[in-house]
Structure 1
Amino acid sequence: MATALLVVDMQSFFSSMTTKALPNVLKLVSHFHSQALPVFFTQHGHTKEELSPPYPNPLVRKWGPDGSIAIGSAEWKLQPEIEEVCKADELVPKNTYDAFINTQLEAKLKDAWVCRVVVCGTMTDCCCDTTARSAFNRGFETWLVDDACGTANEKQHKAGLRGFGFAFGEIMMTKDVLQKLP
């Protein structure tokens, strides 16, 4: 059984939230690739239909079309450093916080015989936390990487980690993940 890395939404829209996390995300990706362990990158975005009234997507209703990421926009693109290390078959498009809803992520993990997922990226308290909880609820052992996640501010970051760590999985630092894996 394998361990997979889930790199959540490291897109231009979130660049300002991930300046501290980015180097650690890249360390994790490099390690997983060097060990031939599965890596998946999510990319959040909304279609023109989702960004048009009556806004069928609940996130667009919550944040409005101007606060949502349009597929194909500059904000939708992966951060350049992430784009360099992301292979086409590793990309999982999504349109909600949970990377398992409306995607092929679970099937890809099962096809790779994954039993544990390591989650990093942005936003700690939204997409990372929701995806990590969803992985746990689907039976995967789940680690959320503190110093490889970013969000709007430290208070939200800590709240996301605290809630996840209480009931769902392990909170780890990048160095701990690298030490525990082959």
Structure 2
Amino acid sequence: MWNWKTAYRSFYYATAEEPEDIQLKPQQTALLVIDIQNTYLEAKEDTQENQRWQPFFKRMNNTVIPNTAELIAFARQHNIEVIFARIACQTEDGRDRSLSQKKPGFNYLLLPKDREDSQIVSALSPIDDEITVLKTTDSALTGTNLRLTLHNMGIKKVIVAGIFTDQCISSTVRSLADESFDVLVVDDCCAAATDEIHQRELEIINMIYCHVIRKADLEKMIP
């Protein structure tokens, strides 16, 4: 039976005491949705490569996007600040990107900010004055004003959802933890390229940089 207090224990925390119950104060809490963008749901041109990514597409369409839509609705209902981060460069040729996004391979990303493939998927679109930060880095804090924004709004706890668990999620979570934010990562609102990578990364970051929970756990955390 799932229990966030004992799940995803790495070697370091296998014998650690169970954490205390978490109580979220909506006015001090933000939901951060990271990089669920159109580009990552597009079919691959190569048939073999497209087949290789089918488990990821399935998890995104059947689990992550529907669950994240419900998570966003939950946050809005409880007056929890909803913030989005997306990979997007300011220039058409991407000369403003960080080095990691200019290197050849999977992480090569050229996503001009106004292009359709760089937009957040329509099922999760921001509304009203919800904040979206644009980044050309893995961490949503490193290359944006998000740190200052969170402090200005009095945020103490950050709920994190999005992709990829082992890359931008992990990098952002570690940055938030280093800035002394309490972080919750929602297991069933995140994905990596494979489920094995996803689960392994959650085990690595759990207990030290964040607490890994599931969407259903949040209802018990609002006083």
Query: TM class by shorter-chain length?
Result: 0.7 to 0.9
Q: Percent identity?
A: 23
Q: C-alpha displacement at 1:33, in angstroms?
A: 0.8
What does residue 46 of structure 1 align with?
Answer: 89
Give per-residue Cα distances to partners, 1:108-134, cap 9 Å, x unaligned.
Answer: 111211111010011111111111111
Greater shift, 56-65 or 106-115, is seen at: 56-65
Aligned residues: 179
Greater shift, 73-82 or 55-64, is seen at: 55-64
Q: C-alpha displacement at 1:66, in angstroms?
A: 8.9
What does residue 134 of structure 1 align with?
Answer: 175
Greater shift, 64-73 or 19-28, is seen at: 64-73
What does residue 35 of structure 1 align with?
Answer: 78
Q: 1:3 aligns with which of 13, 26, 29?
A: 29
SS in 2 for 1:75: helix
Give per-residue Cα distances to partners, 1:6-36, cap 9 Å, x unaligned.
Answer: 0001101223362221111111111111111
CA distance in 1, matches of 2:105, 2:128: 31
Structure with bigger strand share is 1
SS in 1 for 2:168: helix
Residue ranges of structure 2 left out of the alignment (5+ in a row): 1-26, 42-56
Q: TM-score scaled to structure 1, two decimals?
A: 0.88
What does residue 40 of structure 2 align with?
Answer: 14
CA distance in 2, matches of 1:101, 1:62: 18
CA distance in 1, matches of 2:127, 2:136: 19
In our comparison, the structure showing a higher alpha carbon Rg is 2
CA distance in 2, matches of 1:63, 1:49: 18
Aligned pairs for 1:2-151 (under 5 A) are 2-15=28-41, 16=57, 18-19=60-61, 20-48=63-91, 51-52=94-95, 57-63=98-104, 67-71=108-112, 72-83=114-125, 85-151=126-192
RMSD, aligned CA: 2.2
Contact persistence 1:51–1:65 (CA under 8 A): no
CA distance in 2, matches of 1:165, 1:65: 26
Q: C-alpha displacement at 1:51, in angstroms?
A: 3.0
